[in-house]
Structure 1
Amino acid sequence: MSFKMKYAPEDLQMIKEQLGSQSLSAIARRLNRTITALEVKITRMGLSHTKSHTGMITAGELARILKIDRNTVMQWILNHELDSYQRITRNKKRFTFINIDDFWAWADKNRHKIDFSRLELDSLPPEPHWVAIERTLKKQTTNYKAWTKQEERQLLECYCCGKSLTEISKILGRTQESIRKKLKRLIN
């Protein structure tokens, strides 16, 4: 005969609050339960899938949807202020989650970083109205692509000939921001 301990209401609330920010083993220790018992309870509460529980997507999933490298998404988080949340799933594996609404707000301000023509319709609902227009524009984005020696020479030639950043951007297929930064490094 097995003995089942009931969870107090405050224990259930603690599980909801701590799930994702602490490992299951840490939560189980605080509740004086086994990890297996806690996993069963989380499943019964409908919280076993962190993504569906949080309503967010991982950085890797966002990268797959946008058809870009995951490291590009991580650089947006680290260097370009894309909001994200670290969550622990199951035992100790950490994931970077992004709220879809936060992504769209960020993407609106950073349209030049994303080639929306590669984004399938309604793959990140709810899509803002401006995405339909952006989807029709074919952009050549080269986020975080290493510069070759030939590109550096071509950049310096264009700059010395007095071409504008817009013209250089079209020639090299790079953003004006990346060209400005590269010029600063090359000239100084």
Structure 2
Amino acid sequence: MTRRKWTEEEIDFLKDNVGNMKLATLSKKLNRTEGSIQNKLKRLSIFNTKAQTGYLTTYELANLLQKDPKSVRGWITKHGLKSTIKTTHSSRQFSFIHPEDFWKWAESHKEKVDFSKIERQSILPEPAWVEKERKRENPTTYRVWSIKEEKQLKMMLTDGYSIKEVARKLNRSPISVQRKYERI
């Protein structure tokens, strides 16, 4: 069995399509074995499609935002955060988000992002407006519920008050009231 030398066109095709196609598809398109393609990727130092593209996975973005990855996936499926699905190695698929696409989305969905939790220059390029949002953020600290407040919460909900009405009366956020009610 003789080795066939890689052409510049094949290498360019490989670089352009790694992460966009499964290894098996690349193998068919280039008429090479999967092992040959894996070896060439190693020799070209292409180990990770994320490093090659500059994109972030949903998990990486969630960590940088101090959010749950499910929230980021929800932004993609329900709120229009642009992402690209890429396949690494043979079959694993990931959603990748370009940092510029994230910032464009975040600018029009500011209510979903706590900018005070994002470390400066951690998602590059960071637009100038982000610093203003960081300063605007006034993160509230958790207030411990008193026994009296817990009793009021139970009584008001039993009497038919809505979560929002209870929140207003107790000077709490609706989500705080909902979570507390679920815990007690």
Specify if TM > 0.5: yes
Q: Secondary structure at the match of 1:83?
A: coil
Long gaps (5+) in structure 2: 141-153, 176-184
Aligned to 1:144: none
Contact 2:163 2:174 in 1 (8 A): no
Q: How many residues were matched structurally?
A: 156
Q: Provide the C-alpha distance between the structure 1 equivalents of 2:16 and 2:64, rounded to a whole number of angstroms.
A: 29
Offset of 1:27 from its aligned partner?
1.0
Moved over 6 A (4+): none
Match of 1:126 in 2: 125
In the alignment, residue 155 of structure 1 is paired with which amino acid?
A: I
Tell me which amino acid in the other structure corresponds to 2:65. L
Partner of 2:149: none
Check 1:55–1:156 CA distance in 2 against 1; reply closer, same or farther (3 A cut): closer
Partner in structure 2 of residue 80 of structure 1: 79
Larger Rg: 2
Alpha-carbon distance, 1:173 to partner: 5.2
Distance in 1 separating the partners of 2:67 and 2:161: 27
| Counterpart for residue 20 of structure 1 | 19
Kindly indicate whether the alpha-carbon contact (under 8 Å) linking 1:39 and 1:48 is maintained by their aligned counterparts in 2: no
RMSD: 2.6
- Displacement of 1:135 in angstroms is 1.6
Give the gaps of 5 or more residues in structure 1: 141-148, 160-166, 175-188
* Residue in structure 2 matched with residue 90 of structure 1 by the alignment: 89
Which whole-Å deviations, capped at 9, do the CAs of 1:32-70 have from their partners, x for residues lacking one? 322221112123334332011111010110001100000
Structure 2 residue corresponding to 1:155, chosen from 160, 163, 184: 163
Q: Once the two structures are aligned, what percentage of the paired residues are identical? A: 33
Q: CA separation in 2, counterparts of 1:41 and 1:116? A: 42
